[in-house]
């Protein structure tokens, strides 16, 4: 059974890889990974924009510079990922936050939906329900 599965996986791998090696009518492989150059940075993916600051200190951005304004030219490659990574907090800071979030010693260990003072009443109510169910069962057995 294992050999059949291994053989089928081998055949599947060959079927996936074959188009990369089999020549088509034009003499080139049927499939190739030529799509990569489209993703690379080229002159067409590079753009320039201008930024300038007004008299109030507000920054403005645009494709064209207004008259009488000193602007800085900024080049951007639109094919590049310009998002900065998120900085991971140091391990010591996370342990300190955990210490701050720990519950107080006098608080109960687990959050409860029932007040602990009401638990004896709940137990009495449960015993009453059990007695009622037992009585119904007894009545049904007598009716047979």
pLDDT tens, residue by residue, 48-77: 899 999 889 999 999 998 888 889 999 888
Asked if pLDDT for residue 140 goes beyond 80, the answer is yes
Range of the domain at 62: 43-91
Q: What is the pLDDT of residue 26?
A: 86
Indicate whether 61 belongs to any domain.
yes
Judgement on whether residues 61 and 85 belong to the same structural domain of the protein: yes
Judgement on whether residues 84 and 48 belong to the same structural domain of the protein: yes
| 23 within 8 A of 32, measured Cβ to Cβ | no
E runs forming strands in the chain: 46-53, 59-62, 72-77
pLDDT per residue as tens digits for the range 97-124: 666 666 555 555 666 788 888 899 999 9
CA distances from 102 to 7, 78, 108, 111, 114 (A): 56, 46, 12, 13, 22
pLDDT per residue as tens digits for the range 36-48: 555 566 777 788 8
């Amino acid at each position: 059974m294992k050999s059949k599965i291994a053989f089928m996986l081998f055949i599947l791998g060959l079927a996936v890889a074959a188009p990369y090696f089999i020549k088509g009518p034009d003499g080139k492989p049927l499939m190739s990974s030529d799509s990569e150059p489209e993703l690379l940075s080229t002159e067409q993916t590079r753009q320039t924009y201008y930024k300038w600051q007004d008299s109030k200190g507000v920054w403005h951005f645009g494709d064209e510079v207004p008259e009488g304004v000193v602007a800085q030219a900024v080049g951007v490659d639109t094919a590049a990922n310009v998002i900065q990574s998120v900085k991971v907090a140091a391990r010591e800071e996370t342990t300190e936050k955990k210490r701050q979030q720990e519950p107080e010693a006098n608080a109960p260990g687990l959050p409860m939906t029932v007040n602990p003072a009401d638990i004896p009443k709940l137990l009495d109510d449960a015993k009453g329900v059990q007695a009622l169910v037992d009585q119904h069962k007894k009545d049904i057995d007598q009716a047979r």
